[in-house]
Structure 1
Amino acid sequence: MSEEQTVSLVDVLEEDEELEEEASAVLAGSDSDHCSYPQGYVKRQALYACNTCTPKGGEAAGVCLACSYKCHEGHDLFELYTKRNFRCDCGNRKFTELQCKLYPEKEDVNTLNKYSQNFFGVYCTCGRPYPDPEDQVEDEMIQCVVCEDWLHGRHLGCLVPDCVELQEMICESCMNKNPFLWTYAAHLAVPGAAAQVKEETVTEEANTNLPKKEEKGDDVIQPSCKRSREEVGPSCRLNEFHAVGQKRVRSGAVFWPSAWRSKLCSCNACKESLSEAGLSFLLDESDTVLAYENKGKNNEQRQQRHDPLMSALDNLNRVQQLEIIHGYNDMKTELKDFLQRFAAEGKVVTPDDIRQFFEQQQSRKRQRVDAGRFYCT
């Protein structure tokens, strides 16, 4: 006979606090009161797709956090987490029967927005919804840095390394669309089950555009000719990696450690190539979801420091502050003792019990006030 699993009140509070932190990380980086459209193509923001207004078969569209609250309340929304370089579509031509309540003066279409299957509520290479009512396998979903689609861990073609929350992932499809990333992967990526690194001798023919190396120290390739540094120009880290000849099997998604972007080459040629491929954001470490989440957490902490209740408390004198603090601590202690009695007896706390507790609090407060009046002179 298996024991029934129980959850304590502390467990519930800790889980609730964790969910609040996650929500703050994602939502606090976006404005919940004003449409983001006037800001243009926002570097990164929380986005939603409305299945009620733009169902599958229509044009894909995304709305900002504020519009999801004010313009699409009660609608069937797909939470898209965050997307980069996106401008709010709410109320534009794609919404035939809805006008944006927060910023109605929008152009017909945002031509630079990029859309994916996510905007219709499907994800991964399997094209399934999340959560999937037909999928009984517990599996985390991980977002690709490049295409920003979400993929099941079991569909990545590799084992998911530990501490994945501190890393970034690029799916196999995006790696193959940008083959130069495999060169970086052989040197910078997190080793995985799909990573079989080997040393190969690079032929002269394969390196006609790369500087020859006479000696190698600290992964710096020295040119064989005697030209000055000015004539040679700045070195290209990608070419240096390529010249080493270290290869990685081109299979499966690739995970990258924190700060890996800082190790990418930023020479003019590489910058131009990244721009042409639409990957300039890879050189921007503030583009990462982690940087966005940290910004959201910091915003939330600043708002808490400016809480109206705390501001009101600051305006009271020390005696009044101490009275309020002591009153709060007394109520917290009494509430804890009250709930512990139910826990000890194995009883469920009902709304009537909570109501009775606060009625007793009010009764005690009135008694203290009356007693104070009695003894006043």
Structure 2
Amino acid sequence: MSEEQTVSLVDVLEEDEELEEEASAVLAGSDSDHCSYPQGYVKRQALYACNTCTPKGGEAAGVCLACSYKCHEGHDLFELYTKRNFRCDCGNRKFSELQCKLYPEKEEVNSLNKYSQNFFGVYCTCGRPYPDPDDQVEDEMIQCVVCEDWLHGRHLGCLVPDCVELQEMICEACMNKNPFLWTYAAHLAVPGVAVQVKEETGTDESNTNLPKKEEKPSCKRSREEAEPSCRLKELDAIGKKRVQSGAVFWPSAWRSRLCSCNACKESLSEAGLSFLLDESDTVLAYENKGKSNEQGQQRHDPLMSALDNLNRVQQLEIIHGYNDMKTELKDFLQRFAAEGKVVTPDDIRQFFEQQQSRKRQRVDAGRFYCT
């Protein structure tokens, strides 16, 4: 009989805790009780697409977190993670047989919403679903910060760097659609094994550390000369080149190093990329907000509110009892993990029976010494 692969309950609890943290980061930044439609085109929110109401072949539509719970319960939903500048479609013209239960007074269509293949449950340049039952290769999916599509790591055309969860990625298609990004990539992007960088001959090496600190203009210079210089033009003039293929990964705070002169702002606006100048647009900023909201809700936990109604002695007794049980349970489970054993229902039952026995002994001992 072959030995089956097993995991300890400690592993299960740790994995469950990680999943809860990830869910809190994504969902706690969105309202789970009220439709987001009245807020207009929300800067960033968790979104879903309903395959039951808007199947492939129809019009793409997205619904907010609250509507996914209240209006589409039991439906076949595609989790879209987060999207920027989106207004909830639930119950509008695209849903012929469904009316929004939370906010039925919607316009027929949200003309500024942007849709992609993700709204029909397919992703990446390969156009496959996720998870893909026919794909036997273990691979992570990474979201492009521009088009917001999700791509397999192996389809990015480059090696995925370490600490990828702290870095933003722009796919090759979006880089080529906005060629000026390649200039920034040569100076700001995370270096990768598959990336080749070369310098043009005749370049002054002393200028390679741009962006420079701008000199203060003298009073003799004209107003035009005193205008802030264009950082993008300065970087382009250096002549530092990068192989223009594959996706590009960017380090934290890279957006703050983009040029924000009037000309560049106008160009970004025309390309629909103004959000690149906004650090709070990042998914990481959204997730941190969600975690903060979740922590705030935990501080108002009903159990903690109940504790507030008890006197100080009762509060301490309950808190100490809880901490003792948590410590003992952790030690109990760690023994199984160290020995590679599986925790059975009988083991758990025995643990709590021992807890009850110890509690009775403490009570009996207390009665004895009080007489």
Judge conservation of contact 1:214–1:224 (CA < 8 Å) in 2: no
Q: Deviations over 1:18-45 (max 9, x none)?
A: 1111111111100111111111000000
Cα RMSD (Å) of the superposition? 4.6
Report the alpha carbon displacement of residue 166 of structure 1 after superposing the two structures with TM. 1.1
- Indicate the SS of the match to 1:375: helix
State the 1:328 CA deviation: 2.5
> In 1, are the aligned partners of 2:8 and 2:340 still within 8 Å (CA)?
no
Q: CA deviation at 1:374?
A: 11
Q: CA deviation at 1:191?
A: 1.4
Shift of 1:180: 0.6
After TM superposition, give the deviation of residue 376 of structure 1 in Å: 9.7
Q: Give a deviation string over 1:233-280, Cα, whole Å, max 9, x none.
A: 220000101111111111111111111000000000000000000000
- Judging changes above 3 Å, is the alpha-carbon distance between structure 1 residues 332 and 165 closer, same or farther for their aligned structure 2 residues? closer
Does structure 1 retain, via aligned residues, the 8 Å contact 2:124–2:149?
A: yes
Distance 1:329 1:252, change over 3 A: closer
Deviates more, 1:15-24 or 1:336-345: 336-345
Name stretches of at least 5 consecutive residues in structure 2 with no aligned partner: none
8 Å Cα contact 1:144/1:170 also seen in 2: yes
TM-score in terms of structure 1 length = 0.85
Asked whether the 8 Å contact 2:117–2:123 carries over to 1, the reply is yes
1:194 positional shift: 4.0
- Native 8 Å contact 1:25 1:297 kept in 2: yes
1:111 to 1:198, Cα distance in 2 relative to 1, 3 A: same
- Out of 291-300 and 308-317, give the one that drifted further: 308-317
Q: Return the offset for 1:341.
A: 8.9
- The change in CA–CA distance for 1:127 and 1:206 in structure 2 (over 3 A counts) is farther
**Higher alpha-carbon deviation: 361-370 or 105-114:** 361-370
Which sits farther off after the overlay, 97-106 or 3-12?
A: 3-12
Cα pair 1:210 1:243 within 8 Å, conserved: no
Mapped to 2, the partners of 1:202 and 1:347 lie a distance apart of 67
Task: Describe the shift of the 1:227–1:207 C-alpha distance in structure 2 as closer, same or farther (beyond 3 A).
Answer: farther
Please say if residues 212 and 224 of structure 1, whose CA atoms lie closer than 8 Å, have aligned partners that are also in contact: no
RCO higher in structure (CA 8 A, sep ≥6): 2
Provide closer, same or farther for how the CA distance between residues 305 and 120 of structure 1 changes in structure 2, counting only shifts above 3 A.
same
Distance 1:336 1:246 in 2: 55
Identity fraction in percent: 94
Q: Is the 8 A contact 1:168 1:258 kept in 2?
A: yes
* Offset, 1:3: 5.9
CA contact (8 A) 2:167 2:250 kept: yes
Question: What is the aligned partner in structure 2 of residue 261 from structure 1?
Answer: 255
Q: Does the 8 Å contact 2:44/2:286 carry over to 1?
A: yes
Kindly indicate whether residue 230 of structure 2 is the aligned counterpart of residue 236 of structure 1.
Answer: yes
| Whole-angstrom CA distance in 2 between matches of 1:20 and 1:36 | 23
Take 2:17 and 2:298, find their aligned partners in 1: how far apart are those partners?
15
Q: Distance in 2 between matches of 1:196 and 1:202?
A: 19
Structure 1 CA distance for aligned equivalents of residues 280 and 315 of structure 2: 41
- 8 Å contact from structure 1 (residues 122, 130) kept in 2: yes
User: 2-side partners of 1:211 and 1:290: how far apart?
Assistant: 25
**Deviation digits for residues 214-244 of structure 1 (CA, Å, limit 9, x no counterpart):** 999xxxxxx9999536445220000101111
Q: Distance in 1 between matches of 2:181 and 2:266?
A: 15
- Deviation larger for 121-130 or 359-368: 359-368
Shift of 1:196: 1.9
C-alpha separation between the residues in 2 aligned to 1:187 and 1:263?
Answer: 10
After the TM superposition, which of the residue ranges 240-249 and 114-123 deviates more from structure 2?
240-249
Contact 2:142 2:169 in 1 (8 A): yes
- Does structure 1 conserve the Cα–Cα contact (< 8 Å) formed by 2:6 and 2:342? no
- Between the aligned partners of 1:212 and 1:276, the Cα distance in structure 2 is 27
Deviation at 1:14, TM superposition (A): 1.0
User: Once structures 1 and 2 are overlaid, which stretch shifts more, 47-56 or 199-208?
Assistant: 199-208
Normalising by structure 2, we get a TM-score of 0.87
Distance of 2:349 and 2:209 partners within structure 1: 79
CA pair 225-240 structure 1, distance change in 2 beyond 3 A: farther
Greater shift in the superposed pair: 135-144 or 201-210: 201-210
**For the residues of structure 2 that align with 1:285 and 1:192, how far apart are their CA atoms?**
23
Deviation at 1:358, TM superposition (A): 6.0
Question: Relative to 1, partners in 2 of residues 1:350 and 1:73: Cα closer, same or farther, differing over 3 Å?
Answer: farther
Q: Deviations over 1:72-96 (max 9, x none)?
A: 1111110000000000111111111
Q: Are 1:62 and 1:89, in contact at CA under 8 Å, matched by a contact in 2?
A: yes
SS in 2 for 1:311: helix
**1:159 correspondence with 2:162:** no
Counterpart CA distance in 2 for 1:305 and 1:143 is 32
**For residues 205 and 10 of structure 1, do their structure 2 counterparts lie closer, same or farther at Cα, with a shift above 3 Å needed?**
closer
CA distance in 1, matches of 2:208, 2:32: 55
Cα drift, residue 54 of structure 1: 0.5
* Structure 1 residues 107 and 362, CA gap change in structure 2 (3 angstroms): farther
Deviation at 1:340, TM superposition (A): 7.7
Structure 1 range deviating more: 244-253 or 339-348: 339-348
The answer to whether the 8 Å contact 2:203/2:239 transfers is no
Deviation at 1:363, TM superposition (A): 8.8
Kindly tell me: are residues 352 and 102 of structure 1, through their superposed partners in 2, closer, same or farther at Cα, counting changes over 3 Å? farther
- The count of residues paired between Structure 1 and Structure 2 equals 371
Compared with structure 1, are the counterparts of its residues 233 and 77 closer, same or farther at alpha carbon in structure 2 (3 Å cutoff)? same
Q: 1:344 to 1:280 in 2, by over 3 A?
A: closer
Report if aligned partners of 2:9, 2:343 keep a CA contact under 8 Å in 1: no
Q: CA deviation at 1:316?
A: 1.7
Following TM superposition, by how much is the alpha carbon of 1:354 offset from its aligned partner in structure 2, in angstroms?
5.4
For the structure 1 residues 318 and 207, does the alpha-carbon distance in structure 2 shift closer, same or farther, using more than 3 Å as the test?
closer
Task: Report the Cα offset of residue 16 of structure 1.
Answer: 0.9
Residue in 2 that maps onto 1:43 = 43
**2:83 counterpart SS class:** strand
Contact 2:35–2:66, Cα closer than 8 Å, also in 1 = yes
